[in-house]
Amino acid sequence: MKVVLFCGGYGMRMRNGSDDEIPKPMQMIGPRPLIWHVMRYYAHFGHTEFVLCLGYGAEHIKDYFLSYRESASNDFVIRGGKVELLQTDISDWTITFVDTGPESPIGERLRRVRSFLDGDEYFLANYADVLTDAPLNEIIDEVKASGALASMLIVPPQSSFHCVDVVESGPHTGAVTGITPVSRLPIWENGGFFVLSAAVLDMLTENCDLVEDVCGDLAARGKLYGYKHLGFWKPADTFKERAELDAAYRSGNRPWALWEHEKVAAS
């Protein structure tokens, strides 16, 4: 199943004003950039055909894969001056690089890569800036069984803020009557991992938004499936979040790296 990665936005919350900032998908988590961790997650489940929707910072992403060094994350032996890899990451990957414009909304990016998806009943999509340990193939099976035309991973609110109940009128106007952590509210957030049917491609219009326009329409028709995930899920929208993921990686606490768990079990 093909995987579309939306990796062409400006990533403004990760920038400090330079004209040549490294794009968000190329921010480092351990020895590899964020986009590699996302792709490695999909490859773990057998999905190794990637379509990268490029825009801002495209040259950074292209250059990284054009000069990819397997030895950065794999064991190897040097014998007779030649490097012999003991494992490989991307030797069986197919990666299509498509310029979808620096200003394009997500729906428009998807519309511009449609020709690379024609003929597939379902495909996967992701923002390329979120990590999870969700059971991807189980999600795909549930979506197909549900009869939905699309699905999104949904997760509990991640905010550390609190909601406050306030008296709006009368003699006690302004009085706080309750405080509730956002994380305890009975609501769900879009987790950024999508399973989409080919029918979604016919719904794309010029400069549309995938979530608000397409998924919103599908939800109104009862054709959008939400997979509730209570396990690990963490975005890298800000420097703080990226630094937390990097620190977790370096400490060995990386639940999203399911491929490492499999490697340990095999040994």
For residues 233-246, give the mean pLDDT.
92
The total number of structural domains in the chain stands at: 1
Q: Give the position of tokens 């590699």.
A: 36
Q: What is the CATH number of the domain that holds 141?
A: 3.90.550.10
Q: Is residue 210 part of a domain?
A: yes
For residues 112-137, give the mean pLDDT.
95
CA–CA separation, 51 vs 225, rounded Å? 23
Q: Is residue 119 part of a domain?
A: yes
pLDDT at res. 19:
46
Q: 12 vs 227, which has greater pLDDT?
A: 227
> Domain span at residue 248?
2-156+187-266
Q: Is residue 175 part of a domain?
A: no
Alpha helices by DSSP H, listed for the chain, are: 34-44, 58-66, 106-112, 136-146, 216-220, 239-251, 258-266
Q: Is residue 81 part of a domain?
A: yes
Structure tokens at 47: 């999905």
Q: 16 vs 168, which has greater pLDDT?
A: 168
Q: Is residue 171 part of a domain?
A: no
Per residue in 167-220, pLDDT (tens digit) is: 999 998 999 998 988 777 778 999 999 999 999 999 999 999 999 999 999 999
**Among 13, 110, 11, 103, which Cα is nearest to 53's?**
110
Per residue in 44-61, pLDDT (tens digit) is: 999 999 999 999 999 999
CA–CA separation, 33 vs 249, rounded Å? 12
Q: Give the position of tokens 């606490």.
A: 253
Q: How many CB atoms lie within 10 A of CB 156?
A: 18
Q: Which amino acid is at 209?
A: D
**Among 100, 90, 151, 96, which Cα is nearest to 124's?**
151
Q: Is residue 195 part of a domain?
A: yes
Strand partners, 32: 29
Q: Is residue 229 part of a domain?
A: yes
Q: Is residue 53 part of a domain?
A: yes
